[in-house]
């Protein structure tokens, strides 16, 4: 990225003389036309001086290269801000917006999955049944009910029904069990749990530990005869007796009332419950709709879990907020992704994390281009596979974006710039207050100047992304977490001036001369070895390409009596087909010596979160200790540059400092 940009600027410099000559000629011509007027000639002289000195030429060149992108971005931003501002002034909530959308096309399909679908009218009626049941059961506005269920068409309407009586829903990750599951229920103060019949075993495991929380089991229509857990309410049966008419509430919900709790992935500890207000739920799909230029006629493919922001807000929200038909899938399948898109006539699809790499790993087939997809949007498409992905699947537009469930720092790539996660206009940079500040890449500690202010990064300087918090503007608010202490930890104060407050994304990004941003690493993921900083994300991308797009996690491990941390890669290889000799050779040609992992661990399965992101915490804690790890581990022999098995003797020699690193 840096080299290419530098080359362009060198090429631009060669054109500088031509452009400046043109400016000079134009100035002379203007002087002649005005017959030497002192006032005009003075203005001409000032104008010429302005263009012929300093870095003005650079800004002209940047404007020439980015003005179309910038005005497109400005239009999207202003449209989104204005629409959200109008909705907030009108008191719009997700429930009232849904009512408008459902009235427009009542018989149109809202959600489709397999051979089942719910129309907008059917979804509205189902949510009304939910409202009546839980209102009669005595649940009050502001109380919280947990929803533990795998993807199905009714999922969204279960929580929408609760929202109609101003009850907040906590969307629980279906992969959580035991203590983590109990933690999620307690931290949000859940007064009840609605769970799908497929989650019965998880509920049974903790049932005795939550005797104070009522349980409601919902059986999917295609599994009505599934057995019920003893001692729970049969919700699917009870709902059939309820009215389909809307509940009339005296007091209406407000745009900034809490709608949902969505939990962080918990890759570094227990999950945190992020607050999703009505206005934030409206904002996310609206932003995607305006950026991707979607209309209600578009069909969206959403194979992501609905308990997460990407699947349940961004994807499902395009139905609730924008009136699109959304196609769901219970579990993501790389081999069925494009066939599903073709089968349901999808015009836009979602991705997240490592999904694009998994799609590339599937052998080429007739469905690769047998689809009508115009745009694919999400985050996590690695630069190393971007162009190959677009070419193979015939994707016209990739809309990579950056954002966090709870954050206010959002970026979007509107012009399919390879590798970029978004951009900020260098010309109109003050309109959207995001900033990159210098930090210690290893610890994440923010660096400050002599006045105590954060130090802004220039082009190609890696920095921590911060987003200014402004409670008056919906697009810049930070609602935080259920745990107020956790909320405070994400705030950075006195960034540019006394008393200001910014949201800390925890991500290190790099911006180029044109304002494009590129992801570098999470703070803390970077480690230092041989006096150099190693970016785990960059090394992961290289290794994945070398090993046939298999999952690869890279992290630093401490070796006794050595400074810094040595690189270690954990590679998922269930078939045991990894060619270590080819890997070592590829690393030698692709990475500098300090970035090549000294240790390689072969995993029997992929260490993924529910949102297809790679876990690291447990792997980092285990390090390369052969006494506690049963998986095969290899060490890069420092003489030959090849990977050899890490035996007990070799491990002991390394620990005792007998092996030179």
Check which CATH number belongs to the domain holding 445 and give it. Answer: 2.30.38.10
- Pick the residue with more confidence: 224 or 454? 454
Give how far Cα 461 sits from Cα of 2, 229, 438, 506, Å: 10, 56, 8, 16
* Nearest Cα residue to 305 out of 162, 166, 187, 198: 198
Q: Percentage helix, strand, coil, to 5, in the chain?
A: 40, 20, 40
Residues 193 and 119 in one domain: yes
The number of distinct structural domains making up the chain is 4
Residues 264 and 131 in one domain: yes
pLDDT > 90 in the chain, percent? 63
- Pick the residue with more confidence: 113 or 264? 113
- Pick the residue with more confidence: 523 or 295? 295
> Coil, strand, or helix at residue 56?
helix
Residue 380 falls inside a structural domain: no
* Nearest Cα residue to 293 out of 514, 516, 79: 79
User: What confidence tier does 429 reach under pLDDT thresholds 50, 70, 90?
Assistant: low
Q: Is the pLDDT of residue 9 over 70?
A: no
Residue 439 falls inside a structural domain: yes
Q: Is the pLDDT of residue 32 over 60?
A: no
Residues 247 and 101 in one domain: yes
Residues 542 and 614 in one domain: yes
Residues 246 and 126 in one domain: yes
DSSP state of 406: S
**E strand or H helix at 124:** helix 120-136
Rank 128-137, 438-447, 644-653 by mean pLDDT and report only the highest. Answer: 128-137
Residue 78 falls inside a structural domain: no
* Burial (0-12, 13-18, 19+ Cβ within 10 Å), 225: exposed
Residue 351 falls inside a structural domain: no
Contact 602, 569 (CB under 8 A): no
Q: Is the pLDDT of residue 134 over 90?
A: yes
- The sheet carrying 233-234 orders its strands as 233-234, 215-218, 190-196, 144-148, 168-171, 258-263, 273-277
Q: Is the pLDDT of residue 145 over 80?
A: yes
- Pick the residue with more confidence: 314 or 7? 314
Instruction: Count CB neighbours of 655 within 10 A.
Output: 14
**What is the mean predicted confidence (pLDDT) over 592-598?**
89
Three-state SS letters, 260-323: EEEECCCCCCCCCEEEEEHHHHHHHHHHHHHHHCCCCCCEEEECCCCCCHHHHHHHHHHHHCCC
Residues 581 and 455 in one domain: no
For 617-648, the pLDDT digits (tens) are 788 888 999 989 999 999 999 889 999 999 99
Give CA–CA dist 223/202, Å, rounded: 18
Instruction: Count CB neighbours of 543 within 10 A.
Output: 24
User: What confidence tier does 2 reach under pLDDT thresholds 50, 70, 90?
Assistant: very low
Residues 509 and 537 in one domain: no
> Coil, strand, or helix at residue 400?
strand
Q: Which of 471, 497, 521 marks a domain boundary?
A: 521
Residue 318 falls inside a structural domain: yes
pLDDT for position 55: 60
Look at 175-179, 212-216, 576-580, 605-609 and tell me which has the smallest mean pLDDT: 605-609
Give CA–CA dist 466/469, Å, rounded: 9
pLDDT for position 363: 93
What's the N-to-C CA distance of the chain in angstroms? Answer: 31
Residue 374 falls inside a structural domain: no
Whole-number average pLDDT of the chain: 87
User: What confidence tier does 269 reach under pLDDT thresholds 50, 70, 90?
Assistant: low
Tell me the Cα Rg of the chain. 28
* Nearest Cα residue to 508 out of 442, 576, 566, 607: 442
pLDDT for position 660: 79
Residues 544 and 503 in one domain: no
CATH label of the domain that carries residue 121: 3.40.50.980
Residue 660 falls inside a structural domain: no
Instruction: State the residue range of the domain holding 460.
Output: 427-521
For 557-590, the pLDDT digits (tens) are 988 877 788 999 999 988 888 999 999 999 988 8
Give how far Cα 598 sits from Cα of 357, 569, 635, 644, Å: 25, 8, 6, 10
Residues 642 and 517 in one domain: no
Residues 529 and 517 in one domain: no
pLDDT for position 550: 86
* Nearest Cα residue to 509 out of 448, 457, 573: 457
CATH label of the domain that carries residue 564: 3.30.300.30
Give CA–CA dist 221/584, Å, rounded: 53
Residues 324 and 226 in one domain: yes
Q: Which of 297, 312, 331 marks a domain boundary?
A: 331
Q: Which of 276, 296, 331 marks a domain boundary?
A: 331
Residue 72 falls inside a structural domain: no
Residues 26 and 105 in one domain: no
Q: Is the pLDDT of residue 95 over 60?
A: yes
């Amino acid at each position: 990225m840096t080299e290419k940009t530098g080359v362009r600027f060198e090429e631009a410099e060669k054109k500088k003389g031509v452009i400046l000559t043109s400016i000079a000629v134009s100035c002379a011509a203007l002087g002649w036309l005005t017959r030497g007027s002192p006032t005009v000639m003075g203005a001409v002289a000032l104008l010429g001086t302005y263009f012929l000195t300093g870095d003005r030429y650079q800004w002209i060149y940047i404007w020439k290269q980015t003005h179309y992108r910038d005005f497109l971005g400005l239009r999207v931003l202003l449209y989104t801000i204005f629409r959200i501002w109008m909705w907030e002034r009108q008191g719009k909530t997700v429930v009232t917006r849904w009512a408008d959308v459902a009235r427009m096309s009542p018989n149109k399909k809202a959600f489709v999955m397999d051979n089942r679908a719910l129309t907008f009218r059917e979804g509205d009626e189902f949510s009304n049944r939910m409202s009546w049941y839980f209102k009669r059961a005595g649940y009050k506005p502001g109380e919280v009910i947990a929803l533990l269920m795998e993807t199905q068409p009714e999922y969204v309407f279960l929580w929408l029904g609760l929202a109609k009586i101003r009850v907040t829903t906590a969307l629980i990750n279906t992969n959580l069990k035991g203590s983590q599951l109990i933690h999620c229920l307690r931290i949000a103060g859940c007064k009840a749990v609605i769970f799908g019949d497929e989650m019965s075993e998880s509920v049974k495991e903790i049932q005795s530990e939550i005797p104070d929380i009522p349980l409601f089991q919902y059986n999917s229509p295609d599994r009505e005869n599934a057995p019920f857990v003893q001692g729970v309410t049969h919700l699917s049966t009870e709902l059939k007796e309820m009215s389909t008419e809307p509940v009339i509430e005296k007091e209406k919900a407000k745009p900034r009332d809490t709608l949902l709790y969505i939990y962080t992935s918990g890759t570094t500890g227990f999950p945190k419950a992020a607050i999703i207000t009505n206005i934030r739920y409206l904002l996310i799909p609206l932003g995607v709709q305006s950026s991707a230029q979607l209309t209600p006629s578009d069909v969206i493919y959403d194979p992501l879990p609905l308990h997460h922001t990407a699947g349940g807000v961004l994807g499902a929200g395009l139905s609730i907020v924008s009136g699109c038909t959304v196609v769901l899938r219970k579990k993501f399948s790389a081999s069925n992704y494009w066939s599903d898109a073709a089968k349901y006539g999808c015009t836009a699809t979602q991705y997240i994390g490592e999904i694009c790499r998994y799609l590339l790993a599937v052998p080429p087939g007739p469905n690769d281009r047998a689809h009508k997809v115009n745009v694919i949007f999400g985050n996590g498409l690695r630069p190393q596979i971007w162009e190959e992905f677009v070419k193979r699947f015939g994707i016209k537009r990739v809309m990579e974006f950056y954002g966090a469930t709870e954050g206010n720092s959002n970026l979007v790539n509107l012009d399919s710039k390879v590798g970029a996660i978004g951009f900020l206009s260098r010309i109109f940079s003050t309109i959207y207050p995001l900033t990159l500040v210098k930090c210690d890449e290893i610890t994440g500690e923010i660096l400050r100047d002599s006045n105590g202010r954060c130090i802004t990064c220039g082009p190609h300087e890696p920095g921590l992304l911060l987003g200014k918090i402004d409670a008056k503007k919906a697009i810049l608010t930070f609602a935080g977490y259920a745990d107020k202490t956790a909320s405070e930890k994400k705030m950075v104060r006195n960034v540019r001036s006394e008393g200001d407050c910014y949201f800390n994304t925890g991500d290190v990004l790099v911006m180029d001369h044109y304002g494009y941003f590129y992801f570098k690493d999470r703070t803390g993921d970077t480690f230092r070895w041989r006096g150099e900083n190693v970016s785990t994300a960059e090394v992961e991308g290289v290794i994945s390409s070398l090993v046939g797009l298999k999952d690869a996690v890279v992290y630093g491990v401490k070796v006794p009596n050595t400074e810094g941390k040595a690189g270690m890669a954990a590679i998922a290889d269930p078939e045991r087909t990894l060619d270590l000799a080819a890997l070592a050779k590829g690393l030698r040609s692709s990475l500098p010596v300090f970035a090549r992992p000294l240790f390689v661990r072969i995993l029997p399965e992929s260490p993924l979160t529910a949102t297809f992101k790679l876990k690291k915490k447990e792997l980092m804690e285990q390090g390369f200790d052969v006494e506690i790890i049963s998986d095969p581990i290899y060490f890069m022999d420092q003489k030959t540059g090849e990977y050899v098995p890490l035996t007990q003797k070799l491990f002991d020699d390394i620990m005792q400092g007998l092996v030179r690193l």
